[in-house]
Amino acid sequence: MVILPFPTEMVGEYGADHFVISLYIGVLLASSLTLTALAIALRRINPPESAPDRAGVEGLIGNAACLTLAFVIALVVPGVGYWPLALLLLDGPVLALARRRIQPSETSS
């Protein structure tokens, strides 16, 4: 998080430059991956009542996955701008759909 102001300032200065977009999304991705790894480690070493809940960790993993995809798109497709970050809007709905498909229905016996 300490490094985030640097690419943010570059966004203000250079706008939609391909390198700046990639750097900005890459820093967000690195931060998300670090937070996800920390949450997983805390879940493994802490007692269940003080560890991050499963839904929270799944949300962090979903966020990191969306940022990974956004980063790859930003690297591969020049001129796409910051639009790949819109993938973060899909994180919640996709995770909710996956939970519904994985968990058995409570109404069926």
Domain count of the fold of the chain: 1
Half-sphere exposure of 77 (CA within 13 A, CB side): 11
Tell me, yes or no, whether 108 lies in a domain. Answer: no
Q: Give residue 1's pLDDT.
A: 66
Q: What is the pLDDT of residues 55-79, one digit of tens each?
A: 888 888 899 999 999 999 999 998 8
Would the pLDDT of 109 be above 50?
no
Q: What is the mean pLDDT of residues 72-92?
A: 92
pLDDT of 87 strictly over 90: yes
Instruction: Flag whether 29 is in a domain.
Output: yes
In a domain, 106, yes or no: no
pTM of the model: 0.81
Q: What is the domain range of residue 64?
A: 5-97
Residues 6+ apart with CB under 8 A from 71: 22, 25, 26, 29, 84
Q: From 55, 63, 60, 57, select the one nearest 42 (Cα to Cα).
A: 57
Specify if 83 maps to a domain.
yes
Specify if 107 maps to a domain: no
Q: How many Å separate Cα 54 from the centre of its chain?
A: 16
